[in-house]
Amino acid sequence: MLNTRASGVLMHLSSLPSRYAIGVMGDEAKRFIDKIAAMGFSYWQVLPLNPPDFYGSPYTSNAAFAISHMFISPDELVKSGLVSKKDIERSIYYGSPYTADFEFAYNSRLELLKIAFGNINDETKGKIETFKKENPWCEAYSLYCAAKELNGNKPWYEWDKKYAYYENCLKNKKDIEASADFYCFVQYIAFSQWREIKLYANDHGVKILGDMPIYMSMDSVDVWSNRELFDIDYDDFSQKSVAGVPPDYFSADGQLWSNPLYNWKAMEKDGYKWWIARLKASLKLFDTVRIDHFRAFASYWAVPATEKTAKNGEWRKGPAMKLFDKVKDELGDLPIVAEDLGTFGEDVVKLLEDTQFPGMRVIQFGFDPNADSTHLPHNYPKNSIAYVGTHDNTTLLAWLWEASENDRRFALDYCGFKGDNWGEGGFYSPSCRAIIETVWRSPSLISIISFQDLCGFGSDARMNVPGRAFGNWQFRTTEDTINQIDESYFRKINHLFKRK
């Protein structure tokens, strides 16, 4: 249950300005915090910090507990004395400042971190050992990374059997211990840098709203080291069914994610230890955690592994309150936000009521003149988070341009916009501001706006198109753009609608 009226900005770490191909955990992040705090925002929402997949998606990760090494700031490594200014020259990116280049960031940061690892002293080694004891997941993660490197970066289910089975890898870990030590060091640095950013945010009155993907990638340390907790064959690693969602607002074919499904019976037998550890770890990183695709805890869409789309699947029962009762017993009441968007039934409604977790409302979904949508602000419950748009939506200005005339007219009338200049973009778009203010007036205790809508950007700034594999997650901005935001306007509406 939320208890304070406030507002926040959705901006992924990768989208921040930097010299290093994507945003990093350095001074640029602190300056962004300064900016949103000055405007009266109390939350910074980030997408998952886990290592993303090849396409940059943070929702298909190979590690539930780790932070991507790409977010590590080279400048902070210089400050710590682990590398020199000359060492970081190869990490500087000379491409477009408006596009995240994950391949460049991945390779250049790894190269720099290997230099840094060669410069650690005994004091740092001691800190790394302490980090490993406090984060037991790091052993499996570091062995997974080391074994993956040794096996030509193939997925674990194509490795030599000496390493493909976690228990075998533990027996043979002497062969890869030196490499595993490096990956523990990387996580120690990543967590140290993020801790500094979070402390800075909290000290400046800003809470971090983090994001937790519901599923893990098949090629992940979590599946590799806990095969019994996933719905896969223990011996040949095959999957009968995979994760996805049926046809919805975003896709006529549904979304075929192909992640392995959970073996909820096995998880129940061991007291949901993996989930409890995951939630506990996430709440060290964030002040509040949004669980993506929360509805899967009530019931989840299972698609035969042979299917090419997500159309043909079936609903299966999730653990529901059996999981969350256990979580509460172990961890108490938690600051969790349930992403309850998309197709759902009474089982999801009941789970939200039972957990008392706030759900989400997105005004773009509400503009149907023929329906009294739950996404129209007059229907928002107090215990909810109201969004102008999420990372999966197009920008607000783009929605106005792409909507049918009837839907657009309804949206503008609903939000009290009377002019004929609805198509104007940029920081001062009057139609976008009318919609933003309607969200800010809503009963929802927290309202969130994406950075792109903060700026009044068009469709070229969209973060993600669900169901599309390529061309997502690449949006990035500059210091100049951040500095040009109309600070006084957002400070005014945060004050006016009591969200400061």
Say yes or no to pLDDT of 359 above 80: yes
Q: Check 222, 340, 392, 453 and give the catalytic one.
A: 392
Q: Is 292 a catalytic residue?
A: yes
Say yes or no to pLDDT of 279 above 80: yes
| Beta-carbon-side half-sphere exposure of residue 388 (alpha carbons within 13 Å) | 30
Q: Which residues contact 459 (CB under 8 A, 6 or more apart)?
A: 394, 395, 398, 401, 402
The three-class DSSP label of residue 425 is coil
Helical ranges in 13-94 per DSSP H: 27-38, 74-79
Which pLDDT band, with edges at 50, 70 and 90, does 343 fall under?
low
The three-class DSSP label of residue 221 is helix
First to last CA, the chain: 19
Q: How many helices, marked H, and strands, marked E, lie in the chain?
A: 19, 12
The percentage of the chain sitting over the pLDDT mark of 70, rounded to a whole number, equals 99
Strand bridging mode 336-338 / 255-260: unpaired
Mean pLDDT of the chain: 95
- According to the per-residue pLDDT averaged within each range, which of 169-173, 202-206, 229-233, 252-256 is highest? 202-206
Say yes or no to pLDDT of 342 above 90: no
For 350, phi then psi, to 5°, come to -65, -40
Q: Which residues contact 166 (CB under 8 A, 6 or more apart)?
A: 140, 143, 224, 225, 227
Q: What is the pLDDT of residue 469?
A: 77
Rounded Cα–Cα distance for residues 4 and 384 (Å): 11
Q: What is the mean pLDDT of residues 177-191?
A: 97
Q: With contact defined as beta carbons under 8 Å apart, do 13 and 48 qualify?
A: no
| Beta-carbon-side half-sphere exposure of residue 199 (alpha carbons within 13 Å) | 7
Rounded Cα–Cα distance for residues 105 and 103 (Å): 5
Question: What's the pLDDT tens digit per position in 37-78?
Answer: 999 999 999 999 999 998 999 998 999 999 999 999 999 999
Rounded Cα–Cα distance for residues 260 and 271 (Å): 20
Rounded Cα–Cα distance for residues 246 and 254 (Å): 4
Q: What is the mean pLDDT of residues 247-265?
A: 88
Say yes or no to pLDDT of 280 above 90: yes
Question: What's the pLDDT tens digit per position in 435-483?
Answer: 999 999 999 999 999 999 999 999 999 999 987 878 999 999 999 999 9
Give the residue among 213, 167, 203 at the shortest CA–CA distance from 66.
213
Rounded Cα–Cα distance for residues 304 and 327 (Å): 30
Q: What is the pLDDT of residue 468?
A: 82
Q: What is the pLDDT of residue 424?
A: 87
For 71, phi then psi, to 5°, come to -80, -5
Question: What's the pLDDT tens digit per position in 302-341?
Answer: 999 999 999 999 999 999 999 999 999 999 999 999 999 8
Q: Check 339, 353, 372, 486 and give the catalytic one.
A: 339
Q: What is the pLDDT of residue 1?
A: 58
Q: What is the pLDDT of residue 255?
A: 87
Say yes or no to pLDDT of 129 above 70: yes
DSSP summary character for residue 173:
G
Question: What's the pLDDT tens digit per position in 108-124?
Answer: 999 999 999 999 999 99
**Cut 0.85: pTM above it:** yes
CB count, 10 Å around CB of 462?
21
The three-class DSSP label of residue 338 is strand
Q: What is the mean pLDDT of residues 277-302?
A: 96
Q: Check 231, 292, 340, 453 and give the catalytic one.
A: 292
Which pLDDT band, with edges at 50, 70 and 90, does 353 fall under?
very high
Q: Is 392 a catalytic residue?
A: yes
The secondary element (H helix, E strand) that includes residue 302 is strand 299-304
